Structure 1
Amino acid sequence: MIYTLLKFFSKWFFRFMGNPGIKGMRNIPHAGPVVIAANHSSLLDGFLLAAIWPQRITFLAAAYLFNSPAVGAILRAVGAIPVQSGGNNLAEKKTALKVLQRGDVLGLFPEGRIYQSDKLGPFNLGWAYFAINSGASIVPVVIKGTSAMMPKGKFFPRRAKIYIQIGAPWRIEPTLTPKQESYPAMNKRLNAGRATLVQEAIQNGS
């Protein structure tokens, strides 16, 4: 119920604030499990993904955000999973894997923190762990413009144009004994794909 209300509010909020340009909606899988791997330049990114994604998303969020009265209350209400710095908490991983085992959508921002521009930061390997242990489809997403709408440290948004580029999904077969060298290879593939998405987002925004 809370998630539905949040999705409804977010849709109208972004429509009023700039009506995002979206490319690649056809790339969204009709059925899960799905891992969304998106860049992160504003606290608005999660609300934006919830607004446009057809299925409900369970987000991984930095544990410190749960200490904020307002943000923490929203994260708990929508069932977000807190992640400690380093991402090595076994209980957190099990909870996230259960989301994928149900065939649902897991949303995460592999950069691990908010970058204050549309430039992409390096991706951590956590997303690859979930994908390779669940067989989920990986959907790369590039978001451009939320850093202008609400920069890091600001609490009042301003109108700005936002562009979202959704890449084609890909997956690998799950394995009980994934090789460690598989993770960097997957990360390299994802980074190459999102670099292409960035260029497409820039062209769409020009």
Structure 2
Amino acid sequence: MSLYTFAKNVLAAILFPVFRIQVIGKENIPGQGPVIICSNHISNFDPPVVGITSPRDIYFMAKGELFEKRFLGKLLLKVHAFPVKRGMKDRNALRTGLEILKEGNTLGLFPEGTRSKTGEFGRPLAGAGFFALRSEAAIIPCAIIGPYKPGKKLKVVYGPPMNMEKLRHSKASAQETADAIMQEIKLLKENHSS
């Protein structure tokens, strides 16, 4: 058993009962081929929660500072995280992400780039749009509907793959594409918040 699978099983055993996680639309995630899961970002728990609710193993970007600690850096690499320098264009991270998708894997992105402390949606960065336009990946919007409070129900909703044809045909920019992805995440939240 890989460290990723072990960590996923342990976290699932803890987080599912603590946050009473309800997963909706898991069947929308294709079983094969490159996939990008794009989620809103409301807590540090978001990456593990998306990780344990997805049927696919997910590769996540993590802030570069975490990899400066040798032990933690090695551990993060083993659980499919890779570094990104925040606040600048990180060509290495972009290349790594595209390579992950080229190999038919799943990339997990938080288009806002940072956590929303209020739970409100922030403006997405262009990165999610870049990966969506530069790859053949299926784009799966995901809404995490909180709050993260023990005993309260947490919903993780996966929408159907987005139709990217219109965006590609109109030669949409990476920012316009990221905005369109964010809009899908907002709609998922609106439709499942009751």
Q: For residue 73 of structure 1, report the CA deviation from its aligned partner.
A: 5.5
CA contact 1:136–1:171 (8 Å) conserved in 2: no
Q: For residue 122 of structure 1, report the CA deviation from its aligned partner.
A: 1.4
Identity rate, percent:
30
Distance in 2, Cα, partners of 1:118 & 1:201:
15
115 and 67 in structure 1: CA distance in 2 versus 1, 3 angstrom threshold: farther
Moved more, 70-79 or 102-111: 70-79
- 1:148 partnered with 2:145: no
Which secondary structure state, in structure 2, belongs to the residue aligned with residue 200 of structure 1? helix
Q: For residue 67 of structure 1, report the CA deviation from its aligned partner.
A: 4.6
- 1:166 partnered with 2:167: no
Residue of structure 1 equivalent to 2:99: 98
Distance in 2, Cα, partners of 1:131 & 1:195:
18
Q: For residue 75 of structure 1, report the CA deviation from its aligned partner.
A: 2.0
Q: For residue 39 of structure 1, report the CA deviation from its aligned partner.
A: 0.9
Which secondary structure state, in structure 2, belongs to the residue aligned with residue 148 of structure 1? coil
Residue of structure 2 equivalent to 1:75: 76
Q: For residue 142 of structure 1, report the CA deviation from its aligned partner.
A: 0.8
Which secondary structure state, in structure 1, belongs to the residue aligned with residue 13 of structure 2? helix
The amino acid of 2:76's aligned partner reads: L
CA contact 2:126–2:175 (8 Å) conserved in 1: yes
Runs of 4+ with >3 A deviation: 65-74
RMSD (Å), alpha carbons:
2.3
Residue of structure 1 equivalent to 2:185: 194
108 and 115 in structure 1: CA distance in 2 versus 1, 3 angstrom threshold: same
Q: For residue 200 of structure 1, report the CA deviation from its aligned partner.
A: 2.0
TM-score, structure 1 normalization: 0.82
- What CA deviation, in whole Å up to 9, does each residue of 1:3-30 have, x standing for no partner? 0011101211122203211211121112
Residue of structure 2 equivalent to 1:152: none
Residue of structure 2 equivalent to 1:154: none
Distance in 2, Cα, partners of 1:201 & 1:119:
15
Which secondary structure state, in structure 2, belongs to the residue aligned with residue 37 of structure 1? strand
Which secondary structure state, in structure 1, belongs to the residue aligned with residue 20 of structure 2? coil
User: Which consecutive residues of structure 1, in runs of 5 or more, have no partner in the other structure?
Assistant: 150-157
93 and 184 in structure 1: CA distance in 2 versus 1, 3 angstrom threshold: closer
Which secondary structure state, in structure 2, belongs to the residue aligned with residue 16 of structure 1? helix
CA contact 1:61–1:108 (8 Å) conserved in 2: no
Q: State how many pairs are aligned.
A: 189
Distance in 2, Cα, partners of 1:23 & 1:107:
17
- 1:25 partnered with 2:17: no
- What CA deviation, in whole Å up to 9, does each residue of 1:57-116 have, x standing for no partner? 011112233356886554232131111113512121111111000010000111111112
- 1:127 partnered with 2:128: yes
Distance in 2, Cα, partners of 1:7 & 1:24:
19
CA contact 2:111–2:182 (8 Å) conserved in 1: no
Q: For residue 183 of structure 1, report the CA deviation from its aligned partner.
A: 1.9
CA contact 1:66–1:73 (8 Å) conserved in 2: yes
